[in-house]
Every structure is written in structure tokens, then in C-alpha cells.
Structure 1
Amino acid sequence: MRFSLIFSSGGLVITYEYPFNERIRTLLRLEDLFDKASYFVEQEGTREHHVVLLTLFELLEVAGRADLKMDLIQELERQRQTLLVFRNNPEISEEALSGALYEIEQAATALLGMTGKMGQYLRDNDWLMGIKSRAVIPGGVCQFDLPTYHYWMHQDSAVRREALLSWLKPFMPLRNGLAIVLRLLRGSGRMEHQVAERGAFQMMLGGGGAQMVRVSLELHEPYVPEISANKYALNIRFTCPDYDHRPRHAESDVDFDIVFCNL
């Protein structure tokens, strides 16, 4: 489950996203990793750049799914065909439509230009793979284990950033493609207000085609949704977090908003 914070007229709102299938789970995981890498690569410190390198290794593992690139290309093409239907529609901005189509076409072309196995250039880098193999060991990247990495970390931050960006750059078509797909997915649903009586909510879905559900509530509300779902039923159990003991089930009614998303 992924969450995000947004501002609304009523205050700060926290949104939890729960994917219904492995395909959307993979896209959300990649989005989270790309966001983390993009943030930390702009920092100056060695610890922040170490996080980027660890995140790069995670990207390599998650993006290694053989059919991921083709899935994105096919979805982008499907969305392009859907948008083409709105050509010459007086209720649709032709400029906005052309911009969306151009963005999709550019993303698909860049994905098609990615040759070979995803991230193979990293696997062929013995130095990086040496760091990766040590990074899974607790404390395994100390200077006495990896003296060349220790040396690299003492280079100027601009030198490290240039190297990190060069290792991240080949993944960018993947990031751009999944960003479009997830944006369309998140914008596909209609928000509904619901109430979980005494912290419990259930809805029958009847085998519908939802691919993700988004649950939003005011941040000041001391509740966290525990979501379980499939194409037939959705169950949400709101709990009160307790960081020393097991979470307690909410005893009062919980107001929340829900959106079912489907491409």
C-alpha cells in the first residue's frame, strides 16, 4: 500500500493506495524508488548519495521483470487510441489533447528504444556489482570492505552526482512511461464519501475491473486503513496506530473518501 499527502480545503489529507494486481504493485514500487532517487541525487552529502546507489540497486531488481517494458508500451498505445476518439470534439481542448498524445507517443518511442535486458549495463559493471553484493550484508560497505567505494565517496559531490545520473539515465524512459500510466489511472475514478461504522467497512465489487483503490482521510484523524481486496470484495479495517504495541481497532465511526481506479 502506498500513501501520499495533499492539501485540501479542509486541511491536510493523507491518501493510501492499494493495488489489486501485481502489475500495478510493480509500477507503484518503481514510482516510489524513482522519487527517492530523484530527491537524494540532488543532495550534497555522501550518505544521501549512498542512498541513491542503494535505490539504484533496488530499481535494477524491480525493473527486471521481463514483460514490464512491453506492458507499458501496450498500455500507452491503448491510451493513445482512446484519446484519438476525442479528435474534433468541440468539448475537448484540441491543444490539450494534442499535448497528451505527443507526451504518450514520445514516452512509447523512448521505451521502444530501450534495447536488451533492463539494467544490463549495471550488471556488466563489476565495481557496482561488488558494492551491490556487499550492500545486502549489515554493515557490509565499510571502508575496509570496499576501499575503492570509500575513495569514490570522498570525491567532490558534483563528480558523484554526475556518475549517479549517468547510471540512472537509461531508466528514465521507464520512469516517464509509468508516470503517464499512473497519472491516467489515478484520474480515472470518481471520489465517493463513505463512513466506516465502528472502524469497519465492506463493499461487494461484483467482479468489476478496478485495478486500484485510493482511500483518503484527514491527517488529524488518528486512523490507518488496513485494506484487503480482490475483484469481488473490498474490506477496510481502520486501526489506531500504537508504536509500542499492536494497533487497536477503531471504536468510533470513521469518515473517509474512496476512489476506484481503472485504466
Structure 2
Amino acid sequence: MTSFEFPVTERTRTLLRLEQLYQRLAFFISQDEPFQHHAALMALFEVLEAAGRTELKSELLQELERQKQSLESWRESPVIEQNALEQILDEIELTSQRLLEHNSRFGQHLRENEWLMAIKQRSVIPGGTCQFDLPSYHLWLQGPLAQRRADLLRWAAPLMPTAEAAAILLKLLRDSGKHFSYVARRGAFQQMSGGKVVQLIRIAYDDALAVVPELSANKYALNIRFIDAGTGEGRPRQVEQDIDFTLTSCKF
């Protein structure tokens, strides 16, 4: 099955962007080549920008606390696996503590590193990190693998509580999903929402179909169009065939 996730709220949009950036950061740090570690550093700079809002930390802490209180109400419930419940509650508590431990502005240790900020400034210029532009950076990239990875991990470590908070909240949100099967007649589907607000919508369909969904949603209605996923030549067109798909609505 091919699946797409669509954030309905700005907070969910931020969480999904952070998830993607942190996944890319972790992947490239785990690799060995200099160009891959350059990509890791670029991902680190993107995380710095994406999570740099001063209110993000408090929003994450508030949402973690809200989820903790909601989950605690399920203690002793016979329909809930208690070990799993205690595990997620422990994760929420530990992540909240780790977020609170960092009193400075998110990524302040990176902003105070003049060498890194010089690389960040040059990175917005196409080809701006060539060896003749940043000879010390070129020397670092050509240095020992173990040292490069250790540096990247050290720079990333203070940012990781935000990644952990985003991962917990997205897991809880996705686990709340309710699945329904529908058919988009001639590639179009509409459903009235009745004032119900969700945070995340997932659409899944047969991966043999060369289509992509376009979605618009609010508390009044949900509209989905399936567009021909051609090579990009010409204007994208709505398909004429019926599309069977699964719709998953997620809300806390």
C-alpha cells in the first residue's frame, strides 16, 4: 500500500517536519563518507531553524503533560495492557525532564559556535561550502571518521529531547487512528465533518496506482482528489477512474 499523511493543524505539521528532519539527521550521521556527513550537518542546521521557535518547548511540554494526564486515567483499566501503559508514561516523564534540563534557547550551543555558523551562512549559497570558501571545513570533512561522527553526535545531543517529544506525540496520535474504507468516484471524494476536528489524516491505496492524493480539510468538510502522478509534464489532472482507499483519522 502507498500511504500519505496530511497534517490538519499547524502543530501536527511542525511535528511531522521535525520527525522527517531528525530521521534524516540520524541517517546521515550513521554513514561514513564526507559528503554524507556534510548532509548530516545541513540537516542539523535545518533542525535548528525548524525547532527554533521560543514557544515550541513550552507547547511540547504542555502537550506531553496533557497526554500524561489522559493516559493516567486508564490505570487499572482491564481493557488496557498495563505494562505498555506504564512504559509510555515513563517515556513521557523522562522526556519532559530532559526538555526542562535545557534552560537555554534551543540550539544556543550551535549559535555560539562561530565555526559552525560560518558554515551555515555559506551553505545557503549554491556551492558555497567548497574547500576554497571554507578550508577548515574541508579539513574537517577529510579528517578521521570517528572524530567527525563524534562531533556530529555532540552537536546533536542537546537537540534530541525535542526529537523524543515529537516521536512520542506522533506515536500517540497515530495510535488513535480510526480506519474507514471508501471509494473516490472518478477520483474525487467529499465528506462532511460535522464540526469534528482531527489533527492528522492518512490516506492509503494500492501501490500499483500511479496517483497522488490532494486533500483539503477543516471542521466542516473533507475533500480529496486523486491526481495523475505523471512525469510532471503538463498540468496535473484528476484521474477519471474510481479509487479504492483507506482513510485514517487521528485525534488526541
Q: TM-score range by the shorter chain?
A: over 0.9
Native 8 Å contact 1:64 1:119 kept in 2: yes
Percent identity, please.
49
Q: In the alignment, does 2:13 pair up with 1:25?
A: yes
Post-superposition Cα deviations, 1:176-204, rounded to whole Å, max 9, x if no partner, equal 11100000111112110011000011111
- Whole-Å Cα distance in 1 between the matches of residues 82 and 200 of structure 2? 30
Contact 2:123 2:129 in 1 (8 A): yes
Number of aligned residue pairs: 251
* 1:162 counterpart letter in structure 2: A
Contact kept? 2:60, 2:165, Cα under 8 Å: yes
SS of 1:249's equivalent?
coil
* Mapped contact 1:20–1:231 kept (Cα < 8 A): no
2:249 corresponding residue in structure 1: 260
Aligned match of 2:214: 226
Is 1:239 the counterpart of 2:237? The answer is no
1:7-46 → structure 2 map (5 Å cutoff): 13-46=1-34
Matches of 2:232 and 2:64, distance apart in 1: 45
- Say which of 114, 123, 131 aligns to 2:119: 131
**Following TM superposition, by how much is the alpha carbon of 1:123 offset from its aligned partner in structure 2, in angstroms?**
0.6
Q: Residue 37 of structure 2 corresponds to which residue in structure 1? A: 49
Q: Within 5 A, what are the aligned runs for 1:122-161?
A: 122-161=110-149
Secondary structure of the corresponding residue to residue 162 of structure 2? helix
Q: Who is 1:85 aligned against?
A: 73
Amino acid in structure 2 at the alignment position of 1:257: T
Secondary structure class of the residue paired with 1:89? coil
Any idea what SS the aligned residue of 2:178 has?
coil
- Is it true that 1:67 corresponds to 2:55 in the alignment? yes
Runs of at least 5 residues in structure 2 that lack an aligned partner in the other structure: none
Distance 1:249 1:209 in 2: 27
4+ aligned runs moved over 4 Å, structure 1? none
Tell me, in whole angstroms, the C-alpha distance in 2 between the residues paired with 1:28 and 1:177.
12
Amino acid in structure 1 at the alignment position of 2:4: Y
Equivalent position SS for 1:54: helix
One-letter amino acid of the counterpart of residue 207, structure 1: G
Q: Cα distance, 1:247 vs. partner? A: 2.5
The one-letter amino acid paired with 1:14 is T
In the TM superposition, residue 218 of structure 1 has moved relative to its aligned partner by: 1.7
Deviation at 1:76, TM superposition (A): 1.0
Alignment match, 1:251: 240
2: CA distance, partners of 1:17 / 1:141: 34
* 1:19 to partner: Cα distance: 0.7
Distance in 1, Cα, partners of 2:31 & 2:90? 32
Q: Give, in whole Å, the separation in 1 of the partners of 2:35 and 2:142.
A: 11
Structure 2-normalised TM-score?
Answer: 0.97
Distance 1:113 1:251, change over 3 A: same
For 1:240, the aligned partner's letter is D
